[in-house]
């Protein structure tokens, strides 16, 4: 045990003298968390808080136009600019504003749209009451053309969502107008003047709830909830660089020879190294977590919620740290120079992080990339933290991710041992 | 220059400045003698043996020099003695214990000074020694006192707390040597301990080693390219070439029997003048 402690002290002293190593391990993740959270917070905000800039030009100025106005105004996703033809007398001007990026989408309701709807529906009812059974809906309606102008940079899925929302509002208005016309015609036939008010509230209502384990305690995904665990994982995996570098430096100098002449097992020396780097990884995680909890809120960003399952959080973080150290061991064993290990180690962690959803959240990745993400250990770790931080999950929800991470560690260490044996036999 | 005539290393007589003295170490119980029997090493993928059937006995308290040109097999021999690599054939035993089966116990009583500076360059000399001492099981006050004492003996003052990378070549060699003797080994293996340093540092290192040998009875096995240094420093030398033991004996006797002027001439006579690298 004395030898393990001695190795831990030595590793910490070595790291204390390595300014580049400290920068990579501690300063870089702190900067990345702050910068990336600030950048992505705006993107999340545009969707969640301030809304998407929408221009609605209402030339109709009647029931249909006003109902669509209300529909957009009540939609929290929209930052609505309304015009009744005062500023935007022509479609070209609207197109120009959208092209310049002032609005992501513009909707133009043509003049007399409501009146035409009334007329067409009225004619259809008259025909029906006159006993003309041959008339069909297609014959009754001539189409009213709405113009939707979108920013070329707007996502197709977003345009489709807006179009379907618009169609929903129009269908609702059409029903109301039809109900008014039917009521009026029946009054005419019966000679009454009854007025049945069409209910404003929808007949069918939807109650939305999160499918998370503790639904009442689940948190909305935001830049902080994504970036803090994501960059904490990234920084933990970046431990590969100093760890592999340290192993190779020892191996390529006389230190390695001296280590093998020390009494006791070489495994004890390696254990000291492993324990030290796991502790460093845990410290990195705590620092990044503290940033999310205390510093980011001071910068106007949302506070980090870490759930209530502390035990599960500790196990997951330990598994991530152990996995990163195992991977560092593999890199440190396979490569022969610190330069090789730094290049391969750095690039491989970058690729695994990109694939794993560290840079870009998984939910906005294409479907096939989401499938590929499953091969990245950083993705397993991130999914585990999502379970704890966003879905309020516990041990049951993360155990599969912890198992995968542990298996990756076992594989890395086994491969390291295999390569070590090969290299020693060739020496 | 010390004048020295060996009657027999086994008997332990030697002659210094006109006085016949007895090396007390040689009369100690031969508890840490090294016996090398039929030692061979063949590396995979090579056609030639690195070592071929070497037989040697190195007595307890002896200073034994292993000489040979580049590629002769010195490093392989050294590595087997340290337990870094295993022989393909034969056996090495120390104090009656086979290295192959008692490596753990043997590591505690041997000290190793590799040719390379086997230190962490960013740590201070003192921190390097504290780490190495702990790895040999020293701890607490005993460790600190031992480190301070060794550093004092080798003339380190405030610079003991400087990073090793800022030391001169001689200082690095001294710390490298202290690292090997910190735990007071019974057998000290030195691979070119004075390579690349000036004459003053070399003299100091050899003086300290001689003191260690005489006062503590440490058996020293050392490799070198400095023939003159080996002639002065070693009780006995062996010349190996192409993995084979060419000759062994007391330097003065070997030189006079071969009718050579120096050990260097004898060495060239045995190994030829061909450049090996």
Q: At B144, which CATH number? A: 3.40.50.300
The chain B residue lying nearest A247, using CA atoms, is B120
Q: Is residue A75 part of a domain?
A: yes
Give the 3-state secondary structure percentages of chain A, helix then strand then coil, rounded to 5: 70, 5, 25
A372/A267 same-domain check: yes
Q: Is residue A121 part of a domain?
A: yes
Cβ neighbors of A119 (< 8 A, separation 6 or more) are none
Q: Is residue A204 part of a domain?
A: no
**Taking CB atoms and an 8 Å limit, are B135 and A262 in contact across chains?**
yes
Q: Which chain A residues are closer than 8 Å to B83 by Cβ?
A: 260-261
Give the per-residue pLDDT at A198. 67
Q: Is residue B221 part of a domain?
A: yes
Geometric angle at alpha carbon B105, from B103 and B109, rounded to 5°:
105
Q: Is residue B2 part of a domain?
A: no
Give the per-residue pLDDT at A377. 94
3-state secondary structure of A407: helix
The CATH number of whichever domain residue A184 belongs to comes to 3.40.1710
Q: Is residue B30 part of a domain?
A: yes
Given B108, B119, B127, which is nearest A263 (Cβ)? B108
Q: Considering only A62-71, A190-199, A295-304, B152-161, which range has the smallest mean pLDDT?
A: A190-199
What are the pLDDT digits (tens) for A341-354? 889 999 999 999 99
Q: How far apart are CA A406 and CA A399, in angstroms?
A: 10
Q: How far apart are CA B98 and CA B26, in angstroms?
A: 22
A29/A77 same-domain check: no
**Taking CB atoms and an 8 Å limit, are B120 and A258 in contact across chains?**
no
Let me know: does A263 contact B106? Beta carbons within 8 Å.
no
In this structure, the strands spanning B13-16 and A105-109 are unpaired
Domain encompassing residue A178: 52-190
For residues B251 and A282, the model is more confident at A282
B195 and chain A: CB distance < 8 Å anywhere?
A: no
Q: Is residue A201 part of a domain?
A: no
Overall number of domains in chain B: 1
Q: Is residue A206 part of a domain?
A: no
**Taking CB atoms and an 8 Å limit, are B84 and A253 in contact across chains?**
no
A149/A295 same-domain check: no
A177/A222 same-domain check: no
A60/A186 same-domain check: yes
A292/A422 same-domain check: yes
In B48-168, where does DSSP find H-type helix?
A: 74-82, 103-109, 125-135, 140-153
The shortest C-alpha distance from B15 to chain A (Å) reads 36
Q: Which of A12, A263, A420 to mutate to test the interface with B (most CBs of B within 10 A)?
A: A263
* ipTM confidence: 0.78
Percent of chain A with pLDDT over 70: 87
B116 and chain A: CB distance < 8 Å anywhere?
A: yes
Q: Is residue B126 part of a domain?
A: yes
The burial class, CB within 10 Å (0-12 / 13-18 / 19+), for A85 is middle
3-state secondary structure of A85: coil
A63/A35 same-domain check: no
Mean pLDDT, contiguous 10-residue spans, chain B (277 residues)? 37 36 43 83 83 88 87 86 87 85 85 88 92 90 91 84 88 90 90 83 86 88 84 87 86 83 79 60
Q: Is residue A199 part of a domain?
A: no
A268/A369 same-domain check: yes
Q: Is residue A210 part of a domain?
A: no
State yes or no: pLDDT of A168 exceeds 80. no
Within a 13 Å sphere around the CA of A416, how many CA atoms are in the beta-carbon half? 20
Question: Is residue A232 very low, low, confident or very high in pLDDT (cuts 50, 70, 90)?
Answer: very high
Q: Which chain A residues are closer than 8 Å to B116 by Cβ?
A: 253-254, 257
Q: How far apart are CA A63 and CA A314, in angstroms?
A: 59
**Taking CB atoms and an 8 Å limit, are B135 and A3 in contact across chains?**
yes
State yes or no: pLDDT of A187 exceeds 60. yes
What are the pLDDT digits (tens) for B146-177? 999 989 888 888 788 889 899 888 889 889 99
State yes or no: pLDDT of A330 exceeds 90. yes
Q: Is residue B104 part of a domain?
A: yes
Domain encompassing residue B37: 13-271
**Taking CB atoms and an 8 Å limit, are A261 and B83 in contact across chains?**
yes
A412/A314 same-domain check: yes
Q: Is residue A200 part of a domain?
A: no
Overall number of domains in chain A: 2
The number of C-beta contacts closer than 8 angstroms across A and B is 79
Q: How far apart are CA A415 and CA A407, in angstroms?
A: 12
Q: Which chain A residues are closer than 8 Å to B112 by Cβ?
A: 257-258, 261
Q: Is residue B4 part of a domain?
A: no
A93/A228 same-domain check: no
**Taking CB atoms and an 8 Å limit, are A255 and B122 in contact across chains?**
no
A230/A134 same-domain check: no
Give the per-residue pLDDT at A282. 93
The chain B residue lying nearest A12, using CA atoms, is B123
**DSSP codes joined into one string, A180-221:** HHHHHHHHHHHT----PPPPSS-SS-------STTGGG----
Q: Quick one: average pLDDT of A199-224?
A: 63
Give the 3-state secondary structure percentages of chain B, helix then strand then coil, rounded to 5: 40, 25, 40
A322/A389 same-domain check: yes
Cβ neighbors of A14 (< 8 A, separation 6 or more) are A246, B120, B122, B123
B12-20, long-range: CB < 8 A, 24+ apart: B14/B235
Q: How far apart are CA B103 and CA A241, in angstroms?
A: 33
User: Which of these, B195, B56, B35, B41, lies nearest to B113 by C-alpha position?
Assistant: B195
Rg of chain A's alpha carbons, rounded to an integer?
32
Q: How far apart are CA A329 and CA A332, in angstroms?
A: 5
Given B83, B84, B139, which is nearest A2 (Cβ)? B139
The shortest C-alpha distance from A29 to chain B (Å) reads 25
């Amino acid at each position: 045990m004395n030898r393990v402690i001695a190795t831990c002290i030595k590793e910490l002293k070595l790291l204390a003298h390595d300014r580049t190593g400290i920068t990579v391990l501690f300063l870089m993740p702190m900067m990345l968390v702050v910068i990336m959270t600030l950048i992505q917070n705006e993107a999340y905000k545009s969707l969640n808080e301030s809304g998407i800039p929408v221009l609605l030009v209402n030339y109709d100025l009647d029931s249909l136009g006003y109902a669509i106005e209300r529909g957009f105004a009540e939609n929290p996703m929209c930052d609505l600019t309304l015009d009744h033809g005062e500023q935007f007398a022509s479609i070209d001007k609207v197109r120009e504003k959208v092209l310049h990026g002032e609005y992501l989408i513009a909707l133009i309701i043509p003049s007399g749209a409501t009146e035409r709807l009334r007329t067409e529906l009225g004619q259809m009812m008259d025909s029906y009451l006159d006993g003309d059974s041959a008339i069909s809906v297609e014959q009754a309606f001539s189409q009213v053309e709405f113009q939707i102008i979108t920013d070329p940079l707007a996502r197709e899925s977003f345009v489709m969502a807006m179009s379907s929302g618009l169609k929903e509002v129009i269908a609702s208005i059409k029903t109301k107008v039809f109900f008014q016309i039917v009521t009026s015609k029946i009054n005419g036939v019966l000679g009454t003047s009854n007025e049945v008010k069409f209910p404003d509230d929808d007949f069918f209502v939807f109650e939305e709830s999160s499918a998370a384990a503790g639904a009442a305690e689940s948190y909305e995904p935001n830049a902080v909830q994504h970036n803090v665990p994501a960059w904490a994982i990234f920084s933990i995996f970046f431990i590969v660089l100093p760890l592999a570098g340290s192993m190779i430096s020892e191996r390529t100098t006389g230190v390695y020879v001296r280590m093998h002449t020390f009494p006791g097992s070489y495994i004890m020396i390696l254990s000291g190294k492993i324990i030290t780097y796991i502790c460093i990884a845990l410290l990195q995680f705590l620092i990044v977590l503290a940033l999310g909890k205390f510093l980011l809120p001071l910068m106007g960003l949302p506070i980090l919620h870490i759930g209530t399952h502390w035990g599960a959080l500790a196990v997951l973080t330990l598994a991530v740290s152990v996995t990163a150290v195992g991977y560092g061991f593999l890199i440190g064993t396979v490569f022969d120079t610190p330069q090789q290990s730094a290049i391969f180690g750095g690039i491989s962690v970058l690729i695994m992080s990109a694939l794993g959803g560290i840079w870009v959240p998984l939910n906005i990745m294409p479907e096939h990339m989401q499938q590929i993400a499953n091969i990245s250990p950083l993705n397993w770790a991130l999914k585990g933290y999502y379970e704890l931080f966003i879905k309020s999950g516990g041990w049951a929800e993360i155990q599969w991710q912890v198992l995968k991470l542990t298996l990756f560690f076992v594989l890395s260490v086994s491969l390291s041992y295999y390569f070590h044996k090969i290299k020693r036999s060739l020496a | 220059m010390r004048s020295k005539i060996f009657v027999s290393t086994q008997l332990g007589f030697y002659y210094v400045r006109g006085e016949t003295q007895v090396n007390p170490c040689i009369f100690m119980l031969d508890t840490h003698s090294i016996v090398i029997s039929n030692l061979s090493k063949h590396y995979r993928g090579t056609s030639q043996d690195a070592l071929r059937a070497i037989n040697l006995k190195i007595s307890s308290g002896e200073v034994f020099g292993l000489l040979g040109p580049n590629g002769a097999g010195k490093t392989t021999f050294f590595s087997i003695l340290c337990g870094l690599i295993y022989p393909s054939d034969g056996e090495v035993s120390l104090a009656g214990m086979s290295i192959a089966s008692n490596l753990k116990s043997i590591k505690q009583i041997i000290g190793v000074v590799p040719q390379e500076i086997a230190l962490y360059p960013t740590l201070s000399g003192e921190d390097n020694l504290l780490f190495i001492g702990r790895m040999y099981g020293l701890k607490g006050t005993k460790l600190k006192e031992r480190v301070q004492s060794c550093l004092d003996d080798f003339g380190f003052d405030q610079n003991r707390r400087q990073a090793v990378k800022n030391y001169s070549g001689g200082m690095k060699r001294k710390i490298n040597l202290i690292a090997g003797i910190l735990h007071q080994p019974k057998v000290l293996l030195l691979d070119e301990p004075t390579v690349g340093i000036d004459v003053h540092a070399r003299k100091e290192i050899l003086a300290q080693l001689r003191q260690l040998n005489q006062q503590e009875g440490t058996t020293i096995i050392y490799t070198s390219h400095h023939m003159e240094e080996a002639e002065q420093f070693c009780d006995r030398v062996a010349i190996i070439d192409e993995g084979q033991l060419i000759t062994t004996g007391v330097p003065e006797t070997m030189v006079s029997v071969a009718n050579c002027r120096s050990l260097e001439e004898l060495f060239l006579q045995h190994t030829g003048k061909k450049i090996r690298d």
